[in-house]
Amino acid sequence: MSDSKKLTTAAGAPVVDNQNVMTAGPRGPQLLQDVWFLEKLSHFNREVIPERRMHAKGSGAYGTFTVTHDITRFTCARIFSEVGKKTELFARFTTVAGERGAADAERDIRGFAVKFYTDEGNWDLVGNNTPVFFLRDPLKFPDLNHAVKRDPRTNMRSAKNNWDFWTSLPEALHQITITMSERGIPASYRHMNGYGSHTFSFINAQKERFWVKFHFKTQQGIQCLTDAEAETLIGKDRESHQRDLYESIERGEWPRWTLFVQVMPEADANQVAYNPFDLTKVWSHRDYPLIEVGVMELNRNPENFHAEVEQSAFNPANVVPGIGFSPDKMLQGRLFAYGDAQRYRLGVNHHQIPVNAPRCPFHSYHRDGQMRVDGNHGGILGYEPNDQGQWAQQPAYAEPPLAIQGAAGHWDHRVDDDYYSQPGALFRLMSPSQQQALFDNTARSLGGAPKAIQLRHIANCLKADPAYGKGVAKALGIAEGEIA
């Protein structure tokens, strides 16, 4: 038998018996000196790691990004440096509210996270399948999750909590409209688009800044499930998204997405009619049309789910030269949240886990910490400045200064802003049957909430479009005379 098939302890000693614990005589009590038993049970007790606070259920795959169109006028990011250039990547798709064992085919937004292993470090684009979000202030993010996850007393998901919170935030209506629309339950991860959602920045070789939004359009076509189809599917298969992605890649049917960007010159931000850093709004496609960039293909399944998918760590703070942040305060909040969550979930050295490690040379000077396994920089000096020129900072990569202004304060983003025009426009883009699906999906979801909350939602919808509010009211069986 080859050595790789022989069982040893973690310390390498042969395991003599993996069927019977050591006892004093055939009927006797177990002996504490059966150290293989001790090791096996204590490792088992520690197999489960904390799940992600949201986006806990997910599927991942490796792939390649290939540049098809030149955008070097906007960015010097090496990933986009020439047409034909290929960059390895790892993607993870998720549902958001459900726990690690939740069914896939739920009405929920989907995470769309991609880690590009670029020549100048990892670029993580941690987006969703929707171009907007429920919130525009990161202070409300824990509340959102407490509202959509389980009730603290009943331990059940609660339509009341969910809709009580959503309907109290006018800025959430755009995302609610998408979530309740016929696109609210993707048929699979292959059949949905992905969006960076936030506004990011591009910096070109001349150190000019542009604002940018990222859009991945599925080449498989958008396909979605109705509530009834999802219900039947979940009854048969709770892992429908995982199965679809895994099996299609195994079959050699590699899913692909075309990457587009919307680009806004830096100075335009002060001139457009809306706040381009508001995550609850989309940019006009007429003013900022989609520019094609390249193709993302997923072509390899992970060998081990825990090692590669569960331990993957995506972080919006991971950007590379040529790609930067923006004043979007949701994005700013996320720059803190992910690394912090991952230090708790995976440990301070999670960047050494192979799926997370850059594929280019890297010389970060953090040292020590639990689970340091890479030699810890050996005897290299651990301070800077030093007389060896070690750990030299790289000022050539500095971004151009960004002009910001304003007095510090807790500015109320609901004052003087318009949260109804865009959901109203989206509603009017829908065909009558799509509008009816929106009414019916909303009624099924909102039906379990108290009437006062239903009326609050109807009032919000009426502001977006009278037909939207009336349609939801009718689907809920609420008479027109009762609505505002």
- Binding site residue list for heme: 338
- Nearest approach in angstroms of CB 137 to ligand HEM is 8
Give the phi and the psi of residue 14 in degrees, each rounded to 5: -60, 140
Query: Any contact of residue 335 with ligand HEM (CB under 6 A)?
Result: no
Nearer to ligand HEM, 55 or 238 (CB): 55
Query: Any contact of residue 333 with ligand HEM (CB under 6 A)?
Result: yes
Q: CB-based contacts of 106: which residues, under 8 Å, 6+ apart?
A: 95, 97, 98, 185, 230, 234
Nearer to ligand HEM, 329 or 463 (CB): 329
Among 97, 148, 313, 483, binds ligand HEM (CB under 6 A): 313
- Nearest approach in angstroms of CB 200 to ligand HEM is 11
Q: CB-based contacts of 374: which residues, under 8 Å, 6+ apart?
A: 352
Query: Any contact of residue 54 with ligand HEM (CB under 6 A)?
Result: yes
| Count of Cβ atoms closer than 10 Å to residue 184 Cβ | 25
**CA–CA distance, 331 with 341 (Å, rounded to integer):** 15
Query: Any contact of residue 113 with ligand HEM (CB under 6 A)?
Result: yes
- Nearest approach in angstroms of CB 308 to ligand HEM is 12
Of 223-231, 298-306, 327-335, 402-410: span binding ligand HEM (CB under 6 A): 327-335
Query: Any contact of residue 214 with ligand HEM (CB under 6 A)?
Result: no
Q: Give the SS3 label for residue 469.
A: helix
Q: Which of residues 222-261 bind ligand HEM (CB under 6 A)?
A: none
Query: Any contact of residue 65 with ligand HEM (CB under 6 A)?
Result: no
Query: Any contact of residue 53 with ligand HEM (CB under 6 A)?
Result: yes
Which sequence positions are flagged as catalytic? 55, 128
Of 121-129, 184-192, 359-367, 425-433: span binding ligand HEM (CB under 6 A): 121-129
The two structure tokens encoding residue 54: 């949201």
- Nearest approach in angstroms of CB 197 to ligand HEM is 3
**β-pairing verdict for 291-300 and 256-265:** antiparallel
Q: Give the SS3 label for residue 294.
A: strand
Query: Any contact of residue 345 with ligand HEM (CB under 6 A)?
Result: yes
Give the phi and the psi of residue 190 in degrees, each rounded to 5: -75, -20
Annotated binding site: 338
Query: Any contact of residue 341 with ligand HEM (CB under 6 A)?
Result: yes
**CA–CA distance, 436 with 432 (Å, rounded to integer):** 6
- Of the candidates 133, 204, 197, the residue with the CA atom closest to the CA atom of residue 169: 133
| In 174-325, beta strands by DSSP E | 194-195, 200-203, 209-218, 256-265, 291-300, 323-324
Q: Give the SS3 label for residue 353.
A: coil
**CA–CA distance, 170 with 54 (Å, rounded to integer):** 23
Longest CA–CA separation in the chain, Å: 86
Query: Any contact of residue 94 with ligand HEM (CB under 6 A)?
Result: yes
For residue 330, the Cα-to-chain-centroid distance in whole angstroms is 13
Query: Any contact of residue 61 with ligand HEM (CB under 6 A)?
Result: no
Query: Any contact of residue 98 with ligand HEM (CB under 6 A)?
Result: no
Q: Which of residues 128-147 bind ligand HEM (CB under 6 A)?
A: 128, 133, 138, 141
- Of the candidates 457, 435, 461, the residue with the CA atom closest to the CA atom of residue 445: 457
- Nearest approach in angstroms of CB 310 to ligand HEM is 9
User: Which residue type, as a one-letter code, is found at position 389?
Assistant: G
Of 54-62, 317-325, 359-367, 468-476: span binding ligand HEM (CB under 6 A): 54-62
Query: Any contact of residue 351 with ligand HEM (CB under 6 A)?
Result: no
- Nearest approach in angstroms of CB 54 to ligand HEM is 6
The two structure tokens encoding residue 167: 């309907």
- Nearest approach in angstroms of CB 125 to ligand HEM is 9
**CA–CA distance, 339 with 345 (Å, rounded to integer):** 10
**CA–CA distance, 221 with 406 (Å, rounded to integer):** 44
Nearer to ligand HEM, 280 or 454 (CB): 280
**CA–CA distance, 277 with 286 (Å, rounded to integer):** 18
Of 226-234, 244-252, 331-339, 454-462: span binding ligand HEM (CB under 6 A): 331-339
Query: Any contact of residue 127 with ligand HEM (CB under 6 A)?
Result: yes
Query: Any contact of residue 413 with ligand HEM (CB under 6 A)?
Result: no
HSE of 407 in the Cβ direction (CA atoms, 13 Å)? 2
| Binding footprint of ligand HEM on the chain (CB under 6 A) | 52-55, 58, 92, 94, 111, 113, 126-128, 133, 138, 141, 197, 312-314, 330, 333-334, 337-338, 341-342, 345
